[in-house]
Chain A
Amino acid sequence: MASLRCFLRSGRNAVSVILRREFHKTSPAALQVTVRDALNQAMDEELERDERVFLLGEEVAQYDGAYKVSRGLWKKYGDKRIIDTPITEMGFAGIAVGAAMAGLRPICEFMTFNFSMQAIDQVINSAAKTYYMSAGVAAQHSQCFAAWYGHCPGLKVISPWSAEDAKGLLKSAIRDDNPVVVLENELMYGVPFEMSEEAQSKDFTIPIGKAKVERQGSHITLVSHSRMVGHCLDAAAVLAKEGIECEVINLRTIRPMDIDTIEASVMKTNHLITVEGGWPQFGVGAEICARIMEGQAFNYLDAPAIRVTGVDIPMPYAKILEDHSTPQIKDIIFSVKKTLNV
């Protein structure tokens, strides 16, 4: 079905300039790959593998992508497979869904997630609900949409953090027969990650619906998704120096959520903090806490599970304000210590 890639843009060019590593150095084992390049590879490989796959969106073809994620694809695959659209989100989102209904596998790109709001009707009412209803015979620029799309049955929602996540999840999304919303974070595009040999393969996919334990720990569980995973790992590194070992879980998929992995971890560490960039009310963390309460892990909690989230305000413009409106590493450290009562 249609794979909807959406770009979360958080303000200005906050992407730190990371010197592009020696691009063509081939090392047979691990390789440094940015999230942007990983997404590009994923699409390239899937376009090559399956003729039905095509990409449409604003500036994806001749401009090489507004954030350069689709760089080189138009040159390689041409007009038929990489399509520049006019600025008409509702229209082209509907066209993507219609093409999927008729057997193709479109990747529909929204330049920013907020633009996707214009098309949310097509995503929710046309894409998500149709299969069920047919019984089988279909601030202004910065918000985390995990909660919005994660609310809706009939959709799958994935949220990659690392380059491997980006590549593996996007490939799975393209191969999935159902509508998948891919929440990309623009701030992550330029960040390089080590990509294992396994991940470099054309058949590398990451299953949708499975979380990953990025770091083992015994004192407290930190659950996060997307960019905040990096923050959690940074906070964990600082806390380790004080003898506090955090277990960091990367959700990878928002819906369907892998609550089992979280439960197993909480039963081990007895403490839980969820960390997300989105707003607190009705968010990803709220859902995780509710499920933990309702499940077996509740009895293992030694302290209330708490959420670290974006501040409950529309995203401000000034850099200093912006920086303080999403969780910082120090906020995570503070919350861990409060929860552990140290």
Chain B
Amino acid sequence: MQNMLTILTSVFRGSLSKNVRISFKVVVSARTYADFTPQASFDIKKCELHRLEQGPPGEAVLTREDGLRYYRAMQTMRRMELKADQLYKQKIIRGFCHLYDGQEACAVGIEAGVNPTDHLITAYRAHGYTYTRGISVKEILAELTGRKGGVAKGKGGSMHMYAKHFYGGNGIVGAQVPLGAGVALACQYQGNNQICVTLYGDGAANQGQIFESFNMAALWKLPCIFICENNKYGMGTSVERASASTDYYKRGDFIPGLRVDGMDVLCVREATKFAADYCRSGKGPILMELQTYRYHGHSMSDPGVSYRTREEIQEVRSKSDPISMLKDRMISTNMASVEEIKEMDVEIRKEVEEAAQFATSDPEPPLEDLCNHIFYNEPPMEVRGTNPWTKLKSIS
């Protein structure tokens, strides 16, 4: 046992990249098969700060358990989005479809930095958040294919998925930001110590209503974390061509901000924890800019290569992929084995495949459902159909 540890230790030391340091807390146990390191500490990129004396710590501790959880979440999201791509090309998914692959570390890192009882709202690139906020791959894919087993019973589609304390899924660029500030107002009003994470993209960052929200949030000290997911392109327009200032973390002006490496799940987690503490302490809103990247084009109708080069996409994939980064960290510190990860990959593929089967075979919502859910908590009513003789029923 002691020998094995020594061997392992020297192997590690040899193959360490300079970002990795190990703090061993080895628990000597009676198990005889390969013991994994229970946790390790990693250096993470320091955040650039705006109006803050101090930022999140420069290193993060990752436990094996958390590492596996983050890996599983990110890999599941990745495979889910790729499956959606496939289904879209087969015309089983129609309409708008904005894929999140490449940005997984943002959704997973944020979720790891807040409580499940906190609130979250985002724009239309929302499948990842729908997953991290608790909805199964099955329900997400079935919503994309417009079936009754979908999270919104097939009535919402890609941009309108919701969960408890997750307010979608919003199609109008920027409109979700005042909504998020409103949710934060409700948290403050109810005194429940919850916060709201309000996301928007680099494209939306120039919307007037966002600045209106900044003003009111700061004025009233709303517990709101505004997060700009900067994936460098607003549809086909690069940030340099859209914004007079691309320092999105500073755009809150009087609101303190951090610029975070959005490809590193640990960096995102630590920054989110820092931001959440800030908000919960009653200091008011805070802004985070997550620098990230999307592999797909803006939506399924955008090949994504007319405004950027394939080389650029390839470079990000090979050097900064969030899932690879986590995997390398876990394996190099012996927090997980290659086999274990492979096994997980196989499981995840299977899960996604089964979800896709369900999404393809589940029936569409029944026609009787057409006029339902117009109002909440209302007695049943009649709705005019396409002509005066057609009266449809609506229940809430």
Binding site for B on A (CB under 8 A): 1, 54, 80, 83, 85-86, 88, 90-104, 106, 121-122, 125-126, 130-138, 153-154, 156, 177-178, 256, 294-295
Chain B residues closer than 8 Å to A93, beta-carbon distance:
178
Those of B357-379 within 8 Å (CB) of chain A: 369, 372-378
Tell me how far the C-beta of A293 lies from the nearest C-beta in chain B, rounded to whole angstroms: 8
A-B contact pairs, 24 of them (CB 8 A): A54-B189, A80-B189, A83-B220, A86-B212, A86-B215, A91-B212, A98-B121, A98-B184, A99-B183, A102-B119, A102-B183, A104-B186, A125-B172, A126-B175, A130-B160, A134-B152, A134-B160, A135-B153, A136-B153, A137-B152, A137-B163, A153-B374, A153-B383, A294-B388
Does any Cβ of A come within 8 Å of B190's Cβ? yes
Name A134's contact: one of B156, B177, B377, B381 (CB within 8 Å): B156
B211-235 interface bits toward A, Cβ cutoff 8 Å, 1 = contact, 0 = none: 0110110011000000000000000
Tell me how far the C-beta of A139 lies from the nearest C-beta in chain B, rounded to whole angstroms: 24
Chain B residues closer than 8 Å to A135, beta-carbon distance:
152-156, 369, 372-373
In the bound complex, do residue B373 and residue A88 qualify as a contact, i.e. CB atoms below 8 Å apart?
no
Task: Say yes or no: A95-B208 contact (C-beta < 8 A), given A88-B216, A131-B374.
Answer: no
Chain A residues closer than 8 Å to B213, beta-carbon distance:
91, 94-95
Name B178's contact: one of A1, A98, A295 (CB within 8 Å): A98
B171-188 interface bits toward A, Cβ cutoff 8 Å, 1 = contact, 0 = none: 110010111111111110
Name B182's contact: one of A1, A98, A153, A295 (CB within 8 Å): A98
Does any Cβ of A come within 8 Å of B151's Cβ? yes
Tell me how far the C-beta of A58 lies from the nearest C-beta in chain B, rounded to whole angstroms: 12
Task: Say yes or no: A138-B162 contact (C-beta < 8 A), given A88-B215, A92-B212.
Answer: yes
Binding site for A on B (CB under 8 A): 119, 121, 151-156, 160, 162-163, 167-168, 170-172, 175, 177-187, 189-190, 196, 208-209, 212-213, 215-216, 219-220, 369, 372-378, 381, 383, 388, 396
Kindly count the residue-residue contacts between A and B in the assembled complex, taking CB atoms under 8 Å apart: 150
CA distance A1 to B219 in the complex (A): 24
Chain A residues closer than 8 Å to B155, beta-carbon distance:
132-135
Tell me how far the C-beta of A321 lies from the nearest C-beta in chain B, rounded to whole angstroms: 35
- Write the chain B residue with the least CB distance to A134: B162
In the bound complex, do residue A122 and residue B215 qualify as a contact, i.e. CB atoms below 8 Å apart?
no
In the bound complex, do residue A98 and residue B181 qualify as a contact, i.e. CB atoms below 8 Å apart?
yes
CA distance A101 to B198 in the complex (A): 14
List 5 other contacts, CB 8 Å, given A94-B213, A121-B172, A125-B171.
Answer: A91-B178, A92-B216, A102-B196, A133-B156, A134-B160
Name A178's contact: one of B180, B372, B375 (CB within 8 Å): B375
